[in-house]
A and B are shown apart, each in its own frame.
Chain A
Amino acid sequence: QKEVEQDPGPLSVPEGAIVSLNCTYSNSAFQYFMWYRQYSRKGPELLMYTYSSGNKEDGRFTAQVDKSSKYISLFIRDSQPSDSATYLCAMSPSSGGSYIPTFGRGTSLIVHP
């Protein structure tokens, strides 16, 4: 079983839709949860991070962590064509000395006008 599972998609939605992206994980030691966005032929860039359980909101983006279910989500409101990218979830047991992010395979999102 992979440590982090993520549906690769592609997920195609119309502009303005609410997008839900999800990951499940098996390692209960993960405490630090991140979402990265990767445009074609670019390196990933950090979108949001959450430490332990709970919600975090930043503009149109909301990250949720449910540690009891080992399930994390990223919601994108009012999606735009510029949001079209691959979204990777990542997790680490720590945000400090032993920080080694483990990544999912990414979900390809296409927002069409």
Chain B
Amino acid sequence: EADIYQTPRYLVIGTGKKITLECSQTMGHDKMYWYQQDPGMELHLIHYSYGVNSTEKGDLSSESTVSRIRTEHFPLTLESARPSHTSQYLCASAVTGMNTEAFFGQGTRLTVV
């Protein structure tokens, strides 16, 4: 079982609120990713990191920001939540190698009302 944790699992929040979705992994993986998943749709990459102090935007335009101050921690922040942000957010990590595998957390289901 993968040692990658996301909190909270479920969140209902009002429009305009600032929220931070937490993601932590204990495997020492250098790479971490945030994906957004809507029902029946592709996982869309919104942010990724190749290591401490390295962050990049993914292919899906997002109003969120991320930080990577420690190897094990990759939080995602929405400064002002909107109903269009309602989705499932999946965090993943991977270690560089010949047969790289991305390990996923359980996800955070966000509802903005």
Which chain A residues have a beta carbon within 8 Å of chain B's beta carbons?
2, 4, 8, 32, 34, 36, 41-46, 49, 51, 88, 90, 92, 95-97, 99-106, 108
Q: How many whole Å from A93's CB to the nearest CB in chain B? A: 12
Known contacts A43-B107, A100-B48; A4 and B96 CB within 8 A of each other: no
User: Is there an interface contact between B42 and A99, defined as CB atoms closer than 8 Å?
Assistant: no
Known contacts A51-B99, A95-B97, A95-B99; A43 and B42 CB within 8 A of each other: no
Indicate whether B12 reaches chain A with its CB closer than 8 angstroms: no
Which chain B residues (40-81) contact chain A, with CB distance < 8 Å? 40-43, 45, 48, 50, 58
User: Is there an interface contact between B99 and A49, defined as CB atoms closer than 8 Å?
Assistant: yes
Bound CA span A97–B95, Å: 9
Q: How many whole Å from A38's CB to the nearest CB in chain B? A: 8
Q: How many whole Å from B50's CB to the nearest CB in chain A? A: 8
Which chain B residues have a beta carbon within 8 Å of chain A's beta carbons?
2, 31, 33, 35, 40-43, 45, 48, 50, 58, 90, 92, 94, 96-107, 109
Known contacts A8-B40, A103-B43; A44 and B90 CB within 8 A of each other: yes
User: Within 8 Å CB of B105, what residues of A?
Assistant: 43
User: Is there an interface contact between B100 and A100, defined as CB atoms closer than 8 Å?
Assistant: no
Bound CA span A36–B98, Å: 18
A-B complex: 8 closest residue pairs judged by Cβ atoms: A43-B104, A103-B43, A95-B100, A105-B42, A99-B100, A46-B101, A44-B104, A8-B40
Q: Name which residue of chain A comes closest to B42, CB basis.
A: A105
